[in-house]
Chain A
Amino acid sequence: MKLAKKVCLIGRFAVGKTSLVKQYISKQFGDKYKTTVGVSISTKEVLINDIELSMVIWDIAGFEQDGHYAHYLRGVHGLIWVLDGTEPESFEILDIISESIPEIKQIPSICFINKHDLVDEWRVNDEDIEKLKSHNYAVLNSSAKTGENVDAGFNKLAELMVS
């Protein structure tokens, strides 16, 4: 059986969305930050429980603009929230988007707290983590640089989408 699913990455600018995709698709990481404008698409074929799944990964620009996400989230099957552990303000996007597009709460989702390689510079506190848990999706500390939990996160979402 073959399936194609649309996966969107959401997060503030510079949290590492493009780097996570690059690490997942090609196991590469670039130190230089290049901002994404609009959307970049990548695909990844995975086999989940005998299902050949084509993940069409939408790496959406992180700039904040009214209604910016509406065009891109149409018909989405899975969401990856990307937060930056060194930047607690990046956590605010979760509430902002969940409130402006309430229906996305029903979409299978996972959450990366990225830049775990810089854990000494993390500024998240227990309150931030508790708040994340209230959203009821898997939260993984990740590093696009080292690859920590990157495959695990995408694969977890793939399982959620086909189940």
Chain B
Amino acid sequence: MIPDIVKSFLVDQKAGQGCFCLALNPELAIIQCFGNSKLVGVTPPDINTSVFDFLPILMTETFEENFEIPFFNINDSQVCNIHFLKEKEISYLVLVDRSEIFQVTQKYQQFAHDDNISKNKFKRLAEDLEKAKQKLNKSNQEKAILIAMLSHELGTPLTSILGYSELLLSQKSNNTKELEVIHRNAIHLKHMIENTLLFGRSEAGGFQSQLEYVSVSELFNEIISTLKPAAINKKLKLISAEFIDQEINIDMTRTIQILINLTNNAIKYTNEGSVQLLFSSTEKNHIFSVIDTGIGVEKELQNTIFNPWERIEENAEKGSGIGLYISQKLANAIGGTLKLLYSSKKDGSVFQLIIPRSSPQKQKIPEQIEDFKTNCLGKSLLVVDDDYDILMLIEAILKPYGFKLHTALDLKNTNNILLNNKIDIILTDYNLGKNNASSIIKSMKDMNLKIPILLMTSMPSEIIKSSYKTLGFSDVITKPLSRQNLINTLNKNLIK
């Protein structure tokens, strides 16, 4: 197989130092070392050893043409470039020692490869992290959608329960006590739904702060009117500073939600005494304090009280354990902080909501709210909802104010009423069986009608509210319906 290519050899002294030359004869290896070869460490085969034992790399060579094998690793420390040169009938195999260059190259290459491997590892970790993040975001969004859907579904029957119980209570029924229980529990359920929805949104990162000017007195009044029945039920004083003549620029909806959660908790965990709401301002912050004379928070719980599902077990009051967690999330979302300032078994607790003062914005012009009865007298209101109970509830709430009321359960009836009557304002649910409220806007366009249309929907985010307005809705009313909110929104749109 190996041609007898080498009959004799001629060593060129010019091969110089560091070269190791072999004259090839497959039958008889003749080996000579020249110069100060670094390859002296290689055990030179004796004269009778085949060159292929020494350099097995050559076993498969045909030796028909010149070739070069760079950086041939003879062993771990010795490396050479192999050159095969054929000149007339004489062939030369030249081994050029590259051990020193090899050491340096190996060092740099090892460093470069190790560096590359580390970078790849980090890159993969970053990719995995990004994938996990995307998966988590998607799952949070799906969860938020599920929570929103559930809240909507729960909100519709709750609107009926709350509305009718409120209506019956206002009519001084014989069963006032029982009605109060129903109403109080419905309010509790409403808070739970609101908190669950906010929890879902905060987990999905889906809300934005909406600043507006609000009077501190009004804000406290709203909280007190919402929670007064609960406080009275426990014979607690629920009080705020009598009159705070100050308008502040804050995210009212979120602030009210946080303060309702804090005050509601304070009422739950206070058995006697009072719950007090205080407000103060510093150069940088607005500070709301909720002070109670309740059972206090155990020292070991004080650090974890804002974690989800943490609750004080001592009290038999109902609670989901996410109220404070959501409140803190909300506080952070509006740029503020929520903390337990003080708590003891003897004196009760002080929670503080601290909101940074926002940069001055154009102050909201206070709306001139005229007398609702005057505004709606003789006006035609069309109420559209595919839930008969809700239709009846709204009718019962609004009829005493002098509205001329029309009701429709679906789009077909809505269109008939719009065609045959002069309607001044429309109040509609979004989902209308097979259709939705956008179809009413389309119908109005087709009929060339311009009527204010108010949409009732479950706890919409500000982004969703804004998108509804882009679709052509004049205003959005949050469900479960509050009688006061319904009247205020209708009034605002009637005087526009």
Contacts and interface: CB of A to CB of B under 8 A. Distances in A.
A39 B60 contact: no
Contacts of A13: 113, 116
A33 B117 contact: yes
Interface string B49-85: 0000000110111100001111111000001000000
B371 to A, nearest CB: 70
Interface in A51-66: 54, 56, 58, 61, 63
A24 to B, nearest CB: 16
Contact of B69 (A34, A63, A71): A71
B106 A35 contact: yes
A38 B110 contact: no
Contacts of B116: 13-14
Given A4-B1, A5-B60, A56-B60, A72 B69 contact: yes
A68 to B, nearest CB: 9
B124 interface: yes
A37 B106 contact: yes
B79 A77 contact: no
B109 A35 contact: yes
Contact of B73 (A6, A14, A39, A87): A39
B61 A38 contact: no
Contact of A61 (B59, B68, B71): B71
Given A13-B116, A54-B59, A71-B68, A38 B73 contact: yes
A38 B69 CA distance: 8
A97 to B, nearest CB: 17
Contacts of B67: 71, 74
B106 A41 contact: no
A41 B57 contact: yes
Interface residues of B, number: 26
B114 interface: yes
B109 A56 contact: no
Contacts of A5: 60
A43 B59 contact: yes
A71 B69 CA distance: 6
Interface string B89-117: 00000000000001001100110011011
Contacts of B62: 75
B173 interface: no
A3 to B, nearest CB: 9
Given A4-B1, A35-B109, A72-B69, A77 B120 contact: no
A63 B109 contact: yes
Contacts of B113: 13-14, 33, 35, 63
A123 interface: yes
A136 interface: no
Residue among A6, A33, A40, A54 with the most chain B CB within 10 A? A40
B71 A75 contact: no
A102 B21 CA distance: 35
Given A13-B113, A14-B117, A72-B69, A37 B59 contact: no
A39 B114 CA distance: 19
Contact of A34 (B61, B72, B110, B117): B110
Contact of A41 (B68, B70, B73, B117): B73
Contacts of B79: 37-38
Contact of B109 (A37, A39, A54, A71): A37
Nearest to A13: B113
A162 to B, nearest CB: 14
Nearest to B67: A74
Contacts of A58: 57
A63 B57 CA distance: 21
21 contacts: A14-B117, A33-B114, A33-B117, A34-B110, A35-B109, A37-B105, A38-B70, A38-B102, A39-B70, A39-B71, A41-B57, A43-B59, A56-B56, A56-B59, A61-B109, A63-B113, A71-B69, A75-B60, A75-B61, A75-B62, A89-B120
Interface of B: 1, 56-57, 59-62, 67-73, 79, 102, 105-106, 109-110, 113-114, 116-117, 120, 124
Interface of A: 4-6, 13-14, 33-41, 43, 54, 56, 58, 61, 63, 71-72, 74-75, 77, 87, 89, 123
Given A39-B69, A61-B71, 19 more contacts: A13-B113, A13-B116, A33-B113, A34-B110, A35-B109, A37-B79, A37-B102, A37-B105, A37-B106, A37-B109, A39-B70, A41-B73, A61-B109, A63-B109, A71-B70, A72-B69, A74-B67, A75-B60, A75-B62
